């Protein structure tokens, strides 16, 4: 029995991802994914955080419910809709050069192509009070994946209990990306967007090395 226990312990240790070396090129790439340098405080391992409960999910809608450790109720909803080209200014390719510009903003989830889907709405309520989330928080993130077996959306409370972390994966292949939004109890704070293809996007955002 003792030998079985030891084997299980060693197996578990082998499955735990190590933190990225802060002197490595991978960590420097992670820093480039931040909106501002001070956002390093939001690099946390989600596996050690309190997770909000998934209530409903399909291709076009997802909802989370839960509560902060201090007791305030949390409701998170996202909606997806078809992308209508006539409602946007599109500059994805110019003279054979990939630009990926939509409405004059660099966009994720595309690679010289016109997206099929966009986020219609992202709402968060704390004790039924909706927090302030500008549309620019998500308007340049296309082909969102809500459900699925690979990197489905997740929502967590930060370790200090002050923030909501919302994770989403989008598109695939050369246009693939992962995003981690950070919200306080009354507004959007920042986000981390990763386009690294060689590892799990959520783990990369969390500063973990596979």
120-145: per-residue pLDDT in tens? 999 999 999 999 999 999 999 999 99
Q: Tell me the three-class secondary structure of 30-49, residue by residue.
A: HHHCECCHHHHHHCCCHHHC
What CA–CA distance (Å, rounded) separates 194 from 22? 17
Q: Tell me the per-residue pLDDT of 168-206, one tens digit each, with 9 for 90 and over.
A: 999 988 889 999 999 999 999 999 999 987 788 999 999
**Domain-wise residue ranges, the chain:** 19-209
* pTM listed for this prediction: 0.88
Residue 18 — very low, low, confident or very high, per pLDDT cuts 50/70/90? low
Kindly state the helix (H) or strand (E) to which residue 187 belongs, with its residue range.
none
- 109 has a pLDDT exceeding 80: yes
Kindly state the helix (H) or strand (E) to which residue 93 belongs, with its residue range.
strand 90-94
Which of 90-99, 113-122, 138-147 has the weakest average pLDDT? 90-99
pLDDT at position 27: 81
Torsion of CA 202, 34, 97, 108, to 10 degrees: 50
Contact (CB, 8 A) for 39 and 53: no
DSSP state of 148: S
């Amino acid at each position: 029995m003792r030998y079985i226990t030891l084997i299980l312990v060693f197996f578990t240790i082998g499955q735990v991802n190590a933190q990225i070396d802060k002197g490595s090129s991978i960590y420097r790439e992670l820093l480039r994914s931040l909106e501002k340098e001070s956002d390093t405080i939001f690099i946390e391992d989600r596996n050690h955080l309190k997770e909000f409960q998934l209530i409903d999910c399909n291709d076009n809608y997802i909802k989370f419910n839960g509560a902060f450790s201090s007791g305030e109720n949390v409701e998170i909803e996202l909606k997806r809709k078809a992308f209508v080209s006539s409602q946007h200014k599109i500059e994805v390719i110019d003279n054979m050069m990939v630009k990926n510009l939509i409405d004059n903003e660099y966009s994720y989830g595309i690679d010289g192509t016109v997206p099929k889907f966009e986020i219609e709405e992202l709402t968060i309520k704390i004790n039924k009070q909706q927090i302030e989330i500008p549309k620019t928080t998500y308007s340049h993130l296309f082909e969102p994946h809500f459900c699925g077996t690979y990197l489905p959306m997740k929502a967590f409370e930060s370790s200090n209990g002050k923030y909501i972390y919302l994770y989403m994966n989008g598109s695939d292949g050369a246009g693939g990306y992962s995003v981690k939004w950070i919200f306080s109890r009354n507004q959007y704070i920042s986000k981390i967007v990763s386009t690294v293809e060689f590892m799990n996007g959520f783990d990369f955002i969390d500063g973990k090395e596979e």
